[in-house]
Structures are given as C-alpha cells and as structure tokens.
C-alpha cells in the first residue's frame, strides 16, 4: 500500500525505535528497571524508544500535539492534530524475555484516529492503516478479519488484570461466561497486538477494561479498517476514551458482545 506522508513518517519512526528495542531485548537481563506501580514496569529501553519516536515524529511535524505513555501530554501549535504513542506495549513480556511486544503510534485529527501503526519488532511485522484505506501487514498484505461465524469455533483474546486492579472480578466473570461458548481464550499481554491480530484474523475477537488510549488508538483503527466491529462494554461509553471495549468480526460481534456485557 502506498501510504500518506504522515503514515510513512510513522512507519519510519517505528522501525528506528524498533531497532533500539530489539538491541536491548537481546540483553534484557542487563536492563535497569524501575517500578511505576504494582506490576507495571518501565525500563530504560522503554524511555529510550519514546525519545526516538518523539524526535522522529515531532521533528517531522513540529506543530502537532503529543501524548506519550512515558512523557505525558503536550499541546501543539496545531490544535487539530496529535500523535498518540506507546513506545513499548507489553513491557512485562519484554522484561521477561518473551518476544511479544509492540510499538504503537496513532495520529489523531479533530478527535478521530486517522492513521495507526503497530510494529512487532521482534517478529518484524508492521501492521498499519489509514482511515478509509484499509489495513495492511508489511508491504502488501491486505488484512481482513476472520470469517468464522460460530462461537464454538472462535478464539478470543483479553487482558487479565494483575495486582490491585479493580476489574479482576468482572474479568473472571467474563471468562466463566465465554469459555463454555468458544474454542479458547488467549492472554498474551499486549493490547496493541491483540487488536492487530483481530485485524489479521488470528483472533476472532477481543475485549478488555481499563485500557489507556495509547494502548488501543492505533490498534482499533487497524482492526476496524480490516472489517471488525467495535463497541463499549458498558452502554454509553466511548471505547477509545474510556478504555473499555469489545471487538470482533461482524458475524459473531453481537453474540460475543452480549456475553461480555451481560452483567457489567
């Protein structure tokens, strides 16, 4: 796919930060790690990747706003556009030597996500999309959600809350309802990649609560451009802003969402 200038900037930035992360990943046992909160770690590699991304993205578009997981929010001269960045989604996997983590970059324009990149540097898989132009993997592979229409054949993904997160009871109730209805549930530890995998048809659906916008901004665009349907877990919420979402292919979305939202 021939992308816009902004998308090309995003892909270039993701690859540059990815090279830095892969280098650190190979020596993960030597990383110095500090704790941000219960079960939520930040590493020097994480912060270095965000510095690279910020330099590349803001260097190319200095008037845009910025929202990064590590560096926070900055208003831009152009109030209509903002980069939304997670430099390392799946930090715990990274620190344990598990090769399942990603860089997530989204571009917001007038409150809408218009471009998104999720880069799995460990496997060199670049998922990307622009609003209205479909979703793609690497240079030329068009992404489409799965065509499964029977719940009992479907595989879903979620995130299981850790430590002191208050949504653990609700998630355990979700699992009790969904497990008898499907072929399996996976918990791989990266929301950005979960959404990209829905886009690629590797998962048939995904749900999670209490996510941050930088976790899901790029991935939700990629998944919906690949044909996924998205909705809130609780009626009246905005999935992107509230961080509570259910997403699946068109054929099973209604039944899947009814199960997940049944008692929330």
Q: Is the pLDDT of residue 163 over 70?
A: no
Closest listed residue to residue 96, CA positions, set 165, 25, 46, 45: 25
β-partners of residue 125 are 120
Confidence of residue 264 (pLDDT cuts 50, 70, 90): very low
pLDDT > 70 in the chain, percent: 92
The DSSP output letter for 189 is S
For residue range 45-82, list pLDDT tens digits in order. 899 999 999 999 999 999 999 999 888 899 999 999 99
Asked if the model's pLDDT at residue 38 lies above 90, the reply is: no
What 8-state DSSP symbol labels residue 248?
A: E
State the average pLDDT over residues 204-223: 96
Q: Name the more confident of 30 and 13.
A: 13
Residues 178-209: b if buried by 16+ CB within 10 A, e if exposed: beeebeebeebbbbbbbbbbbbbbebbbbbbb
Closest CA to 195 of 221, 233, 161: 221
Q: Per this entry, what is the length of the chain? A: 264
Task: Judge whether 143 and 226 are in contact, CB under 8 Å.
Answer: yes
**Which pLDDT score is estimated for 24?**
87
- Span 19-35, pLDDT tens digits: 999 998 888 766 666 65
pLDDT, residue 161, reads 85
Closest by Cα among 88, 39, 48 to 190: 88
Dihedral sign computed on CA atoms, order 28, 30, 33, 38: positive
Sheet containing strand 141-142, edge to edge, reads: 72-74, 65-68, 81-89, 102-109, 112-120, 125-130, 135-137, 141-142
Cβ contact 104:118 at 8 Å: yes
pLDDT digits (tens, 9 = 90+) for 77-133: 999 999 999 999 998 899 888 999 999 999 999 999 999 999 999 999 999 999 999
d(Cα 117, Cα 125) in Å, to the nearest integer?
10
Helix (H) or strand (E) holding 91: helix 91-95
């Amino acid at each position: 796919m021939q992308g816009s200038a902004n998308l090309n900037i995003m892909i270039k930035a993701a690859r540059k930060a990815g090279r830095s992360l892969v280098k650190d990943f190979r020596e993960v046992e030597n990383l110095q790690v500090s704790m941000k909160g219960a079960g939520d770690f930040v590493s020097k590699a994480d912060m270095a990747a965000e510095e690279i991304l910020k330099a590349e993205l803001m260097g190319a578009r200095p008037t845009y706003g910025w929202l990064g997981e590590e560096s926070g929010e900055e208003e831009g001269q152009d109030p209509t556009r903002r980069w939304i960045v997670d430099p390392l989604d799946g930090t715990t996997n990274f620190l344990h030597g598990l090769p399942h983590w990603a860089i997530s970059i989204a571009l917001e324009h007038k409150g809408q996500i218009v471009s998104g990149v999720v880069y799995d540097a460990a496997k060199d898989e670049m998922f990307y999309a622009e609003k209205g132009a479909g979703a793609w993997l690497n240079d030329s592979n068009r992404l489409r959600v799965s065509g499964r229409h029977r719940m009992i054949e479907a595989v879903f993904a979620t995130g299981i809350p850790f430590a002191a997160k208050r949504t653990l009871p609700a998630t355990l109730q979700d699992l009790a309802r969904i497990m008898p209805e499907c072929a399996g549930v996976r918990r791989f530890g990266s929301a950005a990649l979960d959404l990209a995998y829905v886009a690629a048809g590797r998962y048939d659906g995904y749900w999670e609560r209490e996510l941050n916008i930088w976790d899901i901004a790029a991935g939700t665009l990629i998944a919906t451009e690949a044909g996924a349907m998205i909705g809130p877990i609780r009626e009246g919420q905005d999935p992107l802003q509230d961080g509570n979402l259910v997403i699946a292919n068109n054929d099973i979305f209604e039944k899947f969402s009814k199960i997940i939202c049944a008692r929330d």
